[in-house]
């Protein structure tokens, strides 16, 4: 994850994809660039599917959750949400234990 944190957002798209491919060699980078879901797949994934909407897919960087570092994919059209969440995640990780999550069975 350290390879992505410094100025990742300032790099050209092709360089970001290249870095991700080095970290995640099995990543299907073609699907990231082609819009993703077919109607058939979307219909099997959710109730009452009526279509798909392509959205930009970005990365929230710097998340520490239950003591482990994570990169969080986010499909959203608002750039400030990814920037703000990455910024606060970094602050929380540096000044404490990060986010603590629990669930019930």
pLDDT digits (tens, 9 = 90+) for 23-68: 888 988 887 777 667 888 888 888 888 777 788 888 999 999 999 9
Task: Report the 3 state secondary structure along the chain.
Answer: CHHHHCCHHHCCHHHHHHHHHHHCCCCCHHHHHCCCCCHHHHHHHCCCCCCCCCCCEEEEEEEEECCEEEEEEEECCCHHHHHHHHHHHHHHHHHCCCECCCCCC
Q: What is the pTM of this model?
A: 0.70
pLDDT digits (tens, 9 = 90+) for 11-35: 888 888 888 888 888 988 887 777 6
């Amino acid at each position: 994850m350290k390879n992505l944190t410094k100025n990742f957002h300032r790099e050209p798209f092709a360089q970001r994809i290249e870095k991700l491919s080095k970290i995640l060699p099995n990543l299907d980078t073609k699907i990231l660039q082609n819009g993703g879901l077919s109607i058939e797949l979307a219909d099997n994934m959710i109730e009452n599917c009526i279509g798909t909407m392509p959205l930009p897919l970005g990365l929230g960087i710097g998340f520490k959750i239950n003591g482990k570092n994570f990169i969080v994919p986010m499909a959203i059209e608002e750039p400030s949400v990814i920037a703000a969440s990455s910024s606060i995640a970094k602050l929380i990780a540096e000044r404490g234990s990060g986010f603590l999550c629990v669930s019930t069975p």
